[in-house]
Chain A
Amino acid sequence: MATRGGVQRVNGSTQGKIFQYKLVLLGESAVGKSSLVLRFVKGQFHEYQESTIGAAFLTQTLCLDDTTVKFEIWDTAGQERYQSLAPMYYRGAQAAIVVYDITNQDTFNRAKTWVKELQRQASPNIVIALAGNKSDLARKRAVEMEQAQVYAEENNLLFMETSAKTAMNVNEIFLEIAKKLPKSDQSSAGGGSGSGRPGVDLTQSSQNTSSGCCKS
């Protein structure tokens, strides 16, 4: 179903180093944030995707030469709808995809606000990509590609027009982000979540909670 140009899934054994990153999606409701993730992670697309899905926390792994990049992808779960996204959402995010709908100028303006918000709130080294989604609807285009391109260059963002429906540039945009992310041992240490995160991760501990005493 999905074509994964240039991207390989990792099957079981991995070689080289694994880097884990938290990636967040931002953008107005109904621009296709969840659809992009679903296309990327599961290779699926649903024309009438409900606005909120239960899977607001997905992971996908990419191979990049001799390293493996694991994305822990956070979807907004609808909390962006009334400008009520929790700060927890941005915490420790090393990458963000800000999505707009090329057929709707308002969503592009809103995307710019999200970029500003990220520059203000998120980690200073965050890699931001701008995705003009629904490129399959080019005949209804309201945002010119050049306009977005210029804006992206001015703000040092990666930029692509994507289509979750046709899969155009979906894997590519994640791949470009993966390439741009720093690959040092500390790179995923500042993250807020996932196995690469510092400190005590209770998800790792759930197996041994039954063992009574662990004093040495």
Chain B
Amino acid sequence: MRRAGQALLVLWAAFTASYVLLHLLPGDAILIKFQNPELGLSPEQLARIRQAYGSDGPAAYLHTLLGFLRGDFGYSIDTGTPVVERLAEALPETAKLAGLGFAVAIVLAVGIAFTPWLRELPSLFVAIPVFWVGILLIQLFSFRLKLVPVIGGSEWQQLILPVLTLAIPICAPIAQVLARGIDHAATQPFVQVVAAKGASRRWILWRHVARNAMLPALTMAGLTFGELIAGSVVTETVFGRNGVGRLTEQAVSSQDTPVLLAVVVLTAAVFVLVNLIVDLLFPILDPRLRS
């Protein structure tokens, strides 16, 4: 109950902070949209259009907030379509990309952490920007080796490279924390005890060391969610995919406030949820936390 209250507070704070910040920015979506020189609108015409789009000030804030509570995110100023519609289009795409990206990242991280000679990789992976990874993968696998098309191709083919692009930088910190956890756990006295009792190396590694090493890695995995979202902005742009990341990027450049607010609140909600799940997983992994 308390956690749910906290979560709501976080969401409200995220909403309000972004609302205020977006309104502090110079210009607004209406000005940006209609300043197209081809249309050549006069300031008076602009003022009239702005009026048609609704008022500003505290009343507008309350109105928007109440709308959000009812699940009504308003209309995108840029395209004139309901924000809910745009999100409904973008969300499944990003969910697929981020979900698979995260799964692949975990597999890669575990693989790296448990393979001593791969342990140097994470520092490299952290260092290279997502953007560059994407371009490199496209050049190599699509343009040179012609293994997967980036233009056309089936839905799954279109996911392979973006998922890898996203997974590579995400897996790095998880692998690093996991590797350190393993090293740390391996030096603990209980490992020596278990070894003295005659357990095999594999038994020790999987039953005892891994379980202990997992806790910090899990926290890390929960935290990388933010990176996952940030990464999907870049990945979706590089690969021309239509997801929340791309939607955000476009909404930022056109200062489409209703879309941005919805994205921020949605992201915050998922973030809160992910961290809640992580917290709930802790006691399952570690009996000491159950009481």
Chains A and B come from one and the same complex: no
**Which A positions have Cβ atoms within 8 angstroms of B?**
none
